[in-house]
Amino acid sequence: MAPVKLANVRKSFGAVEIIQGVDVDIVDGEFLVLVGPSGCGKSTLLRMIAGLESISSGEIAIGDRVVNDLEPKFRDIAMVFQNYALYPHMTVERNMGFSLEHRGHSKSEIAERVQWAAQILDLAKLLDRYPRQLSGGQRQRVAMGRAIVRNPQVFLFDEPLSNLDAKLRVVMRAEIKSLHQRLGVTTVYVTHDQVEAMTMADRIVVMNGGKVEQIGTPLELYDRPANRFVAGFIGSPAMNFLPGTITRAGFEAGGVTLPLPGPIAERDGQDAVYGIRPEHLALDGEGLEAEVLLVEPMGSETQVTLRLAGQQMIAVFRERISARPGETIRLRPDVAAAHLFDAASGARLN
């Protein structure tokens, strides 16, 4: 267990800078999730921590050691790969013990560690099987077993659940989380699935185009996204955006005026984007008119696609909605939960 410190870390492939100066302080024992759209550099950053990719500039420290020029095996990290990277010609037992064999552990010690890991991950019955004889979820657990037998300082996961079906993903998500709670090892977990990020993370790092957009706890990111990108990326269905202008009367967009969150005096006349999450639109007889486009009942809630102020939006209601496409309903945004972003930079204004 050790903290991990990234200071102004950069990486270029040829002339292209893929990681453009990342600063993150990962606390000892923390579960940190790196999330972002495809190609934003999450895997590259993780591989740099692992030592599989060189660092163009900046500094990475694990514990109190700067590891920039250290081979992976000296970094005391364990990595779980997206496709598991199990050795196909070795049994589950050998797969898990392989790293220990090469670190000078005795046979009995290896057997003991492997048994311990198999116990935790419920693999005891599968030790003699080969990877090709396992299901996706079992392979996933073997890959985790291989990581935990070494008792490393840091776990690195690169989209470990993306090859599993939706149901198994939820199960394994919980398993990884409880494993972390049990072992308390500092973990860096890469995913492009924001639900995974929200449910598992102590803190989330949202990345985009090789830069960090925001770092914070899941609810911080959800309640106070620092910019439009984070606001749109975190939350499902995504936040609704309404471009318009800030005035003394309120936020004017598409012929309607919405109440503003917070004071606006000095921002009169500024172009901005109004952000409101689907669950923060409530039915109200006095509210704004919206045309219903699509109603999707899901049992516990109802998702309605509608047009409000000329903009397509999604609203989610706890109650059941009987409206049909083409009809008009009236909605009121929850001002306290509304967000304002600068139209040009996307930075948060309120």
Partner 1 sequence: MAPATSPTGSDHTGSRRRPFWTMERRDALAGYLFIAPQLIGITIFVLIPLCLVFWFSLHEWNVLAARFTYTGAANYKALLSDPGLGEVFGATAIFSLGLVVLNMSLALLLAVLLSQKLTGITVFRTLFFSPVVVSLVAWTIVWSFLLQKNGGLNAILQVFGLEGSNWLRDPTTAMISVIVVQVFKNVGLNMILFLAALQGVPKELYEAARVDGVSPFKQFRRITVPLISPTILLTSIITIVGSLQVFAQIAVLTQGGPGMSTTVLVYYLYQQAFQFHRFGYGSTLSIVLFVIVAVLTFVQWQMRKRIVFYER
Ligand X SMILES: Nc1ncnc2c1ncn2[C@@H]1O[C@H](COP(=O)(O)OP(=O)(O)OP(=O)(O)O)[C@@H](O)[C@H]1O
Binding site for ligand X (CB under 6 A): 13, 18, 36, 38-44, 192
The alpha carbon of 324 is separated from its chain's Cα centroid by a whole number of angstroms, namely 35
What, of ligand X, Mg ion, partner 1, none, does residue 39 touch, CB below 5 to 8 Å by kind?
ligand X
- Using DSSP's 3-state secondary structure scheme, residue 92 falls into helix
Q: How many helices (H) and strands (E) does the chain have?
A: 8, 19
Residue of 57, 83, 217, 236 interacting with partner 1 (CB under 8 A): 83
Whether residue 221 contacts residue 204, with contact meaning beta carbons closer than 8 Å, is answered with: yes
Nearer to ligand X, 55 or 242 (CB): 55
Contact 287, 318 (CB under 8 A): no
302 contacts Mg ion (rule: CB under 5 A) = no
- Contact status: 69 vs partner 1 (CB under 8 A): no
- Quick note: the x/- pattern for partner 1 over 91-110, rule CB under 8 A, is -------xx--xx-------
By the rule CB under 5 A, 191 interacts with Mg ion = no
Q: In angstroms, rounded to a whole number, what is the distance separating the alpha carbons of residues 201 and 215?
A: 11
SS3 of 12, please?
A: strand
Which one of ligand X, partner 1, Mg ion, none is in contact with 89 (Cβ closer than 5 to 8 A by kind)?
A: partner 1
**For the chain, how long is the longest CA-to-CA vector?**
76
Number of CB atoms found within 10 A of residue 188's CB: 26
User: Would you say 118 or 306 has its CB closer to partner 1?
Assistant: 118
Contact of residue 81 among Mg ion, partner 1, ligand X, none (CB under 5-8 Å per partner type): partner 1
Closer to partner 1 by Cβ: residue 81 or 241:
81
Strands 154-158 and 186-191: parallel
Q: Is 73 in the site for partner 1 (CB under 8 A)?
A: yes
User: Token digits for 303?
Assistant: 């998702």
Pick 82 or 311: Cβ nearer ligand X: 82
What is the C-alpha to C-alpha distance for residues 49 and 44, in angstroms, rounded to an integer? Answer: 9
Q: Is 43 in the site for Mg ion (CB under 5 A)?
A: yes
H helix or E strand, kind and range, residue 7: strand 4-13
Closer residue to partner 1 in complex, CB, 96/226: 96
Pattern 183-202, binding to partner 1, x per CB under 8 A?
--------------------
Pick 120 or 176: Cβ nearer Mg ion = 176
Site size with partner 1, rule: CB under 8 A: 21
Between CA 194 and CA 92 the distance in angstroms is 31
State the nearest-atom distance from the C-beta of 204 to ligand X, in Å. Answer: 14
Q: Omega into 237 within 30° of 0, i.e. cis?
A: yes
CA distance 18 to 9: 11
Q: Which of 35, 48, 77, 200 binds partner 1 (CB under 8 A)?
A: 77
Nearest-5° angle of CA 151, CA 44, CA 29? 35
Report the C-alpha gap between 299 and 224 in whole angstroms: 29
Residue 77 touches which of ligand X, partner 1, Mg ion, none (Cβ within 5-8 Å per kind): partner 1
Footprint of Mg ion on this chain (CB under 5 A)?
43
Footprint of partner 1 on this chain (CB under 8 A)?
50-52, 71-73, 77-79, 81, 83, 85, 87-89, 98-99, 102-103, 146, 150
